[in-house]
């Protein structure tokens, strides 16, 4: 089973008491499926699991032979190569998670080649361009909105329905439902599109529901959100790169609290390596929250806590500034 780093590198204390984690956890021997790993959080999670030594099955629809419908250049093959370069073993599989037969074939292949599944990450999204901000339901494109819900919620159900029989063969399995926003934050904030709002709240609930069903098998499920994530698309939107990302604060001052996709990936790796991860089962978690518990950092060595920042700075109307929140 996966383990945390050596005793000298471990965190100490309880949930409020983090300490520095000097090296990635040891996930050698762990088999993970990151569904929706082409870009963004999915790619960050896949690479962080590779960083910890895991075998990571990376799925998506964008390949070198077939570009994404929305024109982004990232491919699933690149993600698998990044996993391997980070120290794990990346396996790229083209799969449309809206098609149950393709997911069934994927899981059968994982079973045949790896013989187990320890971590399932449901990060399928496909909602780019399918939601319209600040318009009421009756003025939105209904077909696009319903397709968003299918791609962002139904795909998670399809994937879990096929993958969980393999995961529950051994106790200790972990399911991570990747969403946007904590349960507390989303309960008090409308996410400016009814379809987007519904999708993100529903995925959070899936973490809770699957936890209830997995508990008798000794397995854990959680909902996990990154903060304001510097995905490939977000960097492009602000006209910056990872090297000069702070220039984006000239356009959006609160961009100062943003984080890389690797940060939420390290949160998944830390959960997967925690022998007591069942303490989190059914809960809504965030990258910044778990960094404070497990001691991991973003790639720049900081620990941004976006959701606390939003509550204490943005909602409170205070001036932008990440001091005390990284």
* Cα end-to-end span (Å), the chain: 32
Domain-located, residue 82: yes
pTM above 0.75, yes or no: yes
pLDDT tens, residue order, the chain (326 aa): 333 333 223 332 333 334 444 578 999 999 999 999 999 999 999 999 999 999 999 999 878 777 766 678 789 999 999 999 999 999 999 999 999 999 999 999 999 999 999 999 999 997 777 778 889 999 999 999 999 999 999 999 999 999 999 999 999 999 999 999 999 999 999 988 999 999 999 999 999 999 999 999 999 999 999 999 999 999 999 999 999 999 999 999 999 999 999 999 999 999 999 999 999 999 999 999 999 999 999 999 999 999 999 999 999 999 999 999 99
Domain-located, residue 251: no
Dump pLDDT digits (tens) for 177-235: 999 999 999 999 998 899 999 999 999 999 999 999 999 999 999 999 999 999 999 99
Encode burial over 75-114: b for 16+ CB neighbours within 10 A, e otherwise.
bbbbbbbbbbebbbbbbbbbbbbbeeebbeebbeebeeeb
Domain-located, residue 93: yes
Task: Compute the distance between CA of residue 267 and CA of residue 295 in angstroms, rounded to an integer.
Answer: 10
pLDDT at 134: 85
Smallest Cα–Cα separation from 27: which of 42, 45, 15? Answer: 45
C-beta neighbour count of 153 within 10 angstroms: 20
Task: Compute the distance between CA of residue 307 and CA of residue 259 in angstroms, rounded to an integer.
Answer: 12
Domain-located, residue 110: yes
Give the CATH number for residue 80. 3.40.50.720
**Which range of residues forms the domain containing residue 76?**
7-228+261-302
The residue length of the chain stands at 326
Task: Compute the distance between CA of residue 222 and CA of residue 104 in angstroms, rounded to an integer.
Answer: 23
Q: How many domains does the chain have?
A: 1
Domain-located, residue 311: no
Joined together, the tokens standing for residue 308 give 């606390």
Domain-located, residue 130: yes
C-beta neighbour count of 189 within 10 angstroms: 13
pLDDT at 2: 35
pLDDT at 69: 63
Joined together, the tokens standing for residue 208 give 């809770």
pLDDT at 11: 33
Residue 120 φ then ψ, to 5° = -115, 125
Domain-located, residue 317: no
Domain-located, residue 44: yes
Joined together, the tokens standing for residue 324 give 């005390």
């Amino acid at each position: 089973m996966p383990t945390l780093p050596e005793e000298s590198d471990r965190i100490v204390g309880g949930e409020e008491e983090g300490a520095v984690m000097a090296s990635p956890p040891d996930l050698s021997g762990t088999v993970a499926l990151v569904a929706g790993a082409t870009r963004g959080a999915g790619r960050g999670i896949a690479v962080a699991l590779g960083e910890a030594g895991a075998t990571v099955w990376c799925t998506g629809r964008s390949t070198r032979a077939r570009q994404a419908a929305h024109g982004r250049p990232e491919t699933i093959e690149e993600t698998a190569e990044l996993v391997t370069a980070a120290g794990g073993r990346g396996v790229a599989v083209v799969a449309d998670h809206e098609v149950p037969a393709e997911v069934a074939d994927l899981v059968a292949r994982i079973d045949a080649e790896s013989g187990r599944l320890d971590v399932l990450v449901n990060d399928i999204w496909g909602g780019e361009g399918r939601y319209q901000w600040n318009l009421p339901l009756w003025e939105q494109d209904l077909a696009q909105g319903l397709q968003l819900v299918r791609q962002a919620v139904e795909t998670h159900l399809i994937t879990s329905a096929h993958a969980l029989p393999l995961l529950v063969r051994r106790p200790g399995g972990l399911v991570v439902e990747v969403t946007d926003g904590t349960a507390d934050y989303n309960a008090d904030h409308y996410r400016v599109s009814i379809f987007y709002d519904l999708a993100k709240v529903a995925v959070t609930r899936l973490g809770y529901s699957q936890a209830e069903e997995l508990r008798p098998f000794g397995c854990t499920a959680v909902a996990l959100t990154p903060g304001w994530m510097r995905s490939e698309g977000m960097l492009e939107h602000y006209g910056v790169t990872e090297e000069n990302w702070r220039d984006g604060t000239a356009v959006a001052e609160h961009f100062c609290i943003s984080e890389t996709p690797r940060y939420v990936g390290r949160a998944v790796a830390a959960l997967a390596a925690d022998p007591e991860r069942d303490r989190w089962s059914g809960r809504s978690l965030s990258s910044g929250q778990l960094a404070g518990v497990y001691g991991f950092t973003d790639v720049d060595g900081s620990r941004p806590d976006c959701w606390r920042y939003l509550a204490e700075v943005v909602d409170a109307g205070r001036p932008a500034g990440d001091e005390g929140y990284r």
